[in-house]
Amino acid sequence: MSDLRQLEVVRRCLKLNHGTSFLNGKARFLWSRDFKLSFLEGEGQVVHARLSFQSGAVVNVSAVYAKCTRVGRRPLWQALEAFDAGKGEPWIVAGDFNVVSSADERKGGLPVNATNMDEFNTAMYTCGLSSVDFDGSPFTWTNGTLWQRLDRALVNSLWAAAYTFTKVSHLPRGRSDHSPLLIKARVGSVVPSSFRFLNVWRTHPSFLETVSAD
């Protein structure tokens, strides 16, 4: 089945109005008529989409399908750093980055390559992006002997301020070797957590020592 036919089948199943694909079918966008999109493809590894809502709000969504090698990913980092709209508007970047950001995001196999991590983390810092909290498995890809968190969502400070409730769920892999990412975001203020004191704590032998130390 061709990429266009597959896209059309999925669009109809989801009952969405529009669908298109980029990066040789590796990135697909499907959406309703509730907002307008404009697209910009960069360096064969990222697609930027600018969403304009009827309310007047505008956000930027970038879909990433990174190369497997360090040298191959460098044009991606450059494309993200050059994306001007991400500096002045809410911006979320999500997809398969094919690299981990820390050693604990990998289990099994050879030790993590520090240079790979450094280049990824430097690009995130330069772009003003930070990782979104997630639930589910700590790893999003496996070949059966190696587990890694290769897929993630990153946001800039404007997105974090506008959409204070942003969460990523790592869904079951199914037939794929990658876990799908379910990203939820909504506006709202964070409700401060309340402090609770239990009288039973005072009966603990180390209560006074712990309070004094703190």
Domain at 92, CATH number? 3.60.10.10
Average pLDDT over residues 154-160: 95
Per-residue pLDDT at 1 exceeds 70? no
In a domain, 17, yes or no: no
In whole angstroms, give the CA distance from residue 185 to residue 6: 27
Domain count, the chain: 1
In a domain, 173, yes or no: yes
Residues 15 and 27: beta-carbon distance below 8 Å: no
Please tell me the predicted confidence (pLDDT) of residue 115. Answer: 96
Report the amino acid identity of residue 34: D
In a domain, 178, yes or no: yes
In whole angstroms, give the CA distance from residue 61 to residue 50: 6
In a domain, 100, yes or no: yes
Report the amino acid identity of residue 184: K
In a domain, 209, yes or no: yes
Please tell me the predicted confidence (pLDDT) of residue 212. Answer: 62
Average pLDDT over residues 155-161: 94
In a domain, 113, yes or no: yes
Could you give the count of Cα atoms lying within 13 Å of 168 in the half-sphere of its Cβ?
22
pLDDT tens-place string over residues 186-205:
886 544 444 444 443 455 55
Res. 89 pLDDT band, cuts 50 70 90: very high
Per-residue pLDDT at 85 exceeds 90? no
Please tell me the predicted confidence (pLDDT) of residue 28. Answer: 85
Res. 207 pLDDT band, cuts 50 70 90: low
Q: Note the maximum CA span of the chain.
A: 70
In a domain, 174, yes or no: yes
Containing domain of residue 40, as a range? Answer: 34-213
Please tell me the predicted confidence (pLDDT) of residue 53. Answer: 86
In a domain, 8, yes or no: no
Please tell me the predicted confidence (pLDDT) of residue 36. Answer: 85
In whole angstroms, give the CA distance from residue 112 to residue 102: 8
Average pLDDT over residues 162-190: 89
pTM recorded for the entire structure: 0.82
